[in-house]
Chains A and B, each alone.
Chain A
């Protein structure tokens, strides 16, 4: 469920179709990604999942599984 919502969020912000193997992708390898888009993505994820990343996490989270783990952790906190 989180994975699907997250994929939609990436599609909207990066304006790209959903890539194959999204669930285990490295964020920086997704089509349309760059450092500016990265921050927009993180802000959008915060909004949609109603969570808040720590400042260091904004750049330290580099893979989709790691991102999903943080979202799950925050939602259950």
Chain B
């Protein structure tokens, strides 16, 4: 047996030893119970939100404001982030696009919160993300306390100047846009020269995390520098 073969055999045994545990075979049921509970909770929450919007519309309550709100903060379309090609006339959908690449509409984002113990302080970060079946990824995260309703964050964030003390920490919008026959475009607001704005509608942690933003942002890949546009409402629930 050659040296290469011995290395291969040795590493495969090591990985087999690490990865394969007899008790793992019994955990499928537990995993399903936990995952299904989260899915059902998520579905109930979505149904409740949709019913609430429908009732408000039927009652004619704040019709003008309601229409505006739906236009900017449109609830999940139910397409659940499957990465469809965006059509025209769908202003209530978050759209990711780049030159020469089919644009994608993204929905079904999941909101979650996490307390980070950093330097003796606890910082609560809210996160919204989705990974579509075609590989499109949208992820936003930021310190939740700084995302007050109505606040507009202009990019680059350094432009906040004197207000920089209020700049949300850990703020990042990450997008991955798949391409045919080429590596996906990956761009982040923490990369070079992000432009545009994010306006906060709602950012809430606690029992039912929720995040609603209006995005009009252009972020750049590294190192190619291709600009990726992210526009429309970002709506995420737990």
Q: Is chain B found bound to chain A in the same assembly? A: no
